[in-house]
């Protein structure tokens, strides 16, 4: 890091074929940032939240040598539920993380029906449930409470819109600013929406 500005040294741009390319954010995804945030919460004993592993059935492995074993065929055992779950302030927490490059809406193609039904069941049993949505074009991340999301989803199931307008998400959500540590302090937004 270059201090005091806090700018990473590798944030270099170059011109290639007339386009400016920014190498500073390459490889940084929403889930990686949330994993860092969850590790911070765990280290500071604020919450216990983990990414759920995807259950996979390994079918075939190629063993050219012991150190070079390579999985060549595998299948998902069951459909996955949501991305993250854990405990915060004695309550079960469950959420999905989604990114979209769309400027004006969050398309429902980004989320599966079985994930929504899992989140609905968690919500109906008193869990804290939400979706963290990143609009990459706007470089904005929102905590979208399930209570607002599900209204749009149910409209969609009843032959309504196939997406949620960006303006609705912006109005119904809590903006999560990016910080150094934690990267996205989504528990501050959880406190604001669920505990105040």
44 labelled ligand-binding: no
- Separation in Å, CA 132 to CA 51, 63, 191: 13, 40, 15
83 labelled ligand-binding: yes
Whole-number Å distance between alpha carbons of 182 and 178: 8
- For 25, list phi and psi in degrees, rounded to 5: -105, 5
Whole-number Å distance between alpha carbons of 14 and 21: 6
81 labelled ligand-binding: yes
Whole-number Å distance between alpha carbons of 9 and 127: 42
Whole-number Å distance between alpha carbons of 15 and 115: 42
11 labelled ligand-binding: no
Question: How many other CB atoms are there within 10 angstroms of residue 164's CB atom?
Answer: 23
Whole-number Å distance between alpha carbons of 152 and 154: 6
Binding site members = 81, 83, 96, 115
Binding site members for Mg(2+) = 81, 83, 96, 115
């Amino acid at each position: 890091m270059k201090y005091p500005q806090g700018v990473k040294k590798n944030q270099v741009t170059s011109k290639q074929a007339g386009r400016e390319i920014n190498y500073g954010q390459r490889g940084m995804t929403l889930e990686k940032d949330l994993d860092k945030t969850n590790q911070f919460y765990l280290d500071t004993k604020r919450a216990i939240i983990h990414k759920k592993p995807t259950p996979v059935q390994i079918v075939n492995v190629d063993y050219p040598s012991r150190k070079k074993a390579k999985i060549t065929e595998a299948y998902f055992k069951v459909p996955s539920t949501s991305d993250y779950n854990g405990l915060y302030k004695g309550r079960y927490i469950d959420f999905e993380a989604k990114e979209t490059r769309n400027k004006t809406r969050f398309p429902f193609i980004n989320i599966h029906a079985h994930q929504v039904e899992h989140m609905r069941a968690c919500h109906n049993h008193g869990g804290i449930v939400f979706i963290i949505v990143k609009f990459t074009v706007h470089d904005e991340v929102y905590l979208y409470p399930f209570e607002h999301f599900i209204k749009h989803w149910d409209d969609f199931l009843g032959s309504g819109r196939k997406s949620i307008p960006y303006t609705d998400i912006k109005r119904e959500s809590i903006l999560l600013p990016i910080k150094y540590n934690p990267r996205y302090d989504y528990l501050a937004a959880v406190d604001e929406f669920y505990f105040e």
